[in-house]
Amino acid sequence: MVKKIGIILLVIVCISGTVYSDEIDTDKLIWEDDVLQTSNTSEEPKLNSRAAVIYDRKSKKVIWGKKENEKRPMASTTKIMTAIVVLENANLSDTVTVSKKSAGTGGSRLGLKTGDKVTVNNLLYGLLMVSGNDAAVALAEYVGGSVEGFADKMNQKAKELGLENTHFVTPHGLDMADHYTTALELAEMADYAMNNEKFAQIVNTKNITISINGRSKSLKNTNELLGNLNGVNGVKTGFTNGANRCLVTSVNRDGMNIITVVLGADTKKDRTNGSVKLIEYAYKNYTIYNLEDIINEKYQEWKNINEKRINIVQGKNDYISTRLDKLDNYYIPIKKQDMNNVKVEIYSLKEMEAPIYENDYIGKLIVYNGEEKIEELCIRSNVSIERLTFLDYFYGLLKDNIRNMENVIS
């Protein structure tokens, strides 16, 4: 009996000093060289996962996808949105008192106990680094009043971000009906979150020691790519039986910043290998192309030659002035081998009848990558042109007659 009690006490002591999680793996990475070799190809990646995406942060476009719009459970990658809502609704220095419900939350844990007092800042580290479900509930109750109230805030934020295929029920992501997102919307969510300096700092932290009720606790990030693959700077792992293995990764190399998402991998090795394949495929084959220069150059060439060729019928002015619509984002991801295939074609009306109003359609400028249309901009009137009236014709004839008489006299 004494021996059993001693063993139990030893286990309790060990747990109090170390954070355990079903997402933490302290084994040395053995995949990297092998995966990098198989990823060093222009062939599209083949993944052992249900859904995946490569998302370019500058252009906000998908580079590559696999069922990226399919609704799926996302496990603890849910905590990306949890952190967003907390960071936008609470102060980092606020102190949270841990409830019995929070302390009793299962799955991956920070190791909180009922009555513990922890700052929002330290709870966020526990939430994002070791995927603490207990930390998620503690934060949810503090910010939303309850798990349900916090879920409402999560869904409100999702709606604000335009995430139409995302819905939250919990702040931690344990399997629940009606708790889902898509690979693409999860990438968009992570893109938004990474713009928050504190969020980006936490998910890029490999190891840290925090304080809970004056007790020190060492945390190790569950993200197996962080610190082991060039350019990786976040963001979040996930695992439940319903969602399988999930991983959202942010990478920045040579000014090209991407987010990859792998959802529904059967094993941790599959999610890791799949993520590496996506990352290496993107950086080997793609670059970010700025369309602004070629668009402005080709439009100005057309304007100089063709603008005055547009015939204005019955207008008080003979010539029209045009302008080109602006793109919200001139950047696009493009395969490196296709950079010389980008071309611009311009089509416009040859004749317009007055009255003409400012912003009236004149034509369009289309950008192609080979035969693929990648952007289209309207050319519009930059001025208004009134229609000639009877008096305008009368005064015109009068002026012509006076001019003819002057010529005869001279």
Residues with Cβ within 8 Å of 333's Cβ and at least 6 positions away in sequence, in order, are: 56, 59, 61, 63, 282, 286, 287, 288, 289
Exactly one of 59, 76, 250, 381 is catalytic; name it: 76
The two counts, helices (H) then strands (E), for the chain are 12, 17
Look up the CATH number of domain 291-390.
Answer: 2.60.410.10
For residues 94 and 142, give the distance between their C-alpha atoms in angstroms, rounded to a whole number.
Answer: 10
What is residue 171's DSSP assignment? S
Q: Give which of 222, 19, 235, 202 is closest to 110, Cα–Cα.
A: 19
Q: What is the pLDDT of residues 137-175, one digit of tens each?
A: 999 999 999 999 999 999 999 999 999 999 999 999 999
According to the model, what pLDDT value does residue 14 have? 39
Cα dihedral value 124, 129, 132, 133, nearest 10: 80
What is the percentage of the chain residues whose pLDDT exceeds 70? 85
Q: Higher pLDDT residue, 76 or 388?
A: 76
According to the model, what pLDDT value does residue 389 have? 79
Q: Give which of 126, 163, 125, 144 is closest to 86, Cα–Cα.
A: 144
Q: Is 236 known to be catalytic?
A: no
Is the pLDDT at 37 greater than 60, yes or no? no
Q: Give which of 233, 278, 252, 272 is closest to 65, Cα–Cα.
A: 278
Cβ distance 126 to 210 under 8 Å?
yes
For residues 30 and 272, give the distance between their C-alpha atoms in angstroms, rounded to a whole number.
Answer: 11
What is the percentage of the chain residues whose pLDDT exceeds 90? 81
Exactly one of 21, 39, 79, 217 is catalytic; name it: 79
Task: Categorize the per-residue pLDDT at 34 as very low, low, confident or very high, splitting at 50, 70 and 90.
Answer: low
CATH 2.60.410.10 residue ranges for the chain: 291-390
Q: Give the C-alpha distances (Å, rounded to integers) separating 390 from 213, 397, 399.
A: 89, 11, 14
Cβ distance 100 to 134 under 8 Å?
no
CATH 3.40.710.10 residue ranges for the chain: 19-285
> Helices marked H in 93-162 — which ranges?
100-103, 120-129, 133-144, 147-160
Q: Is 49 known to be catalytic?
A: no
Q: What is the pLDDT of residues 48-105, one digit of tens each?
A: 999 999 999 999 999 999 999 999 999 999 999 999 999 999 999 999 999 999 999 9
Q: Can the peptide bond before residue 355 be classed as cis, meaning omega within 30 degrees of 0?
A: yes
Q: Is 3 known to be catalytic?
A: no
Is the pLDDT at 399 greater than 80, yes or no? no
Give me 238's structure tokens: 């996930």
Average pLDDT on 328-349 reads: 94
According to the model, what pLDDT value does residue 410 have? 59
- Report pTM: 0.85
CATH 3.20.20.105: does it fit domain 19-285? Answer: no
Residues listed for the chain: 410
Q: What is the pLDDT of residues 184-241, one digit of tens each?
A: 999 999 999 999 999 999 999 999 999 999 899 999 999 999 999 999 999 999 999 9
Burial of 106 per CB tally in 10 Å (0-12, 13-18, 19+): exposed
Is the pLDDT at 108 greater than 50, yes or no? yes
Q: Give the C-alpha distances (Å, rounded to integers) separating 42 from 169, 229, 337, 404.
A: 40, 19, 10, 75
Exactly one of 39, 59, 102, 131 is catalytic; name it: 131
